[in-house]
Amino acid sequence: MSPLPEAELVRSSVQLYRYLLRCCRRLPPGPIRQHYRHAIRQSFKVHADEDDPVRIQQIIKRAIEDADWVMNK
């Protein structure tokens, strides 16, 4: 199960970014939330030059799986 129901609708990097930030809002306020928000921003900066559509879909799938793991932790 995905952390938020709209995970199936994520198709682009911008949608993924917004989705992950919405997931962060469900975390407890404080250092944990700030850590994950910072990690999301850094990850997007690192992958900003990615232009292979297959690789982008792999990254999206993995990010949603990771968000699921964090939310269930």
Distance in angstroms (rounded) separating the CA atoms of residues 26 and 4: 10
Sign of CA dihedral 10, 17, 71, 56: positive
Q: What is the mean pLDDT of the chain?
A: 88
**Chain centroid, CA 65 distance in Å:** 9
Structural contact between residues 20 and 40, judged by C-beta atoms closer than 8 angstroms: yes
For the segment 24-35, what is each residue's pLDDT rounded down to a tens digit? 999 999 999 999
Q: Taking 50 as the threshold, does the pLDDT of residue 1 lie above it? A: no
Enumerate the domain spans of the chain: 7-72
Please give the Cα distance from 16 to 25 (Å, whole number).
Answer: 14
pTM of this prediction exceeds 0.85:
no
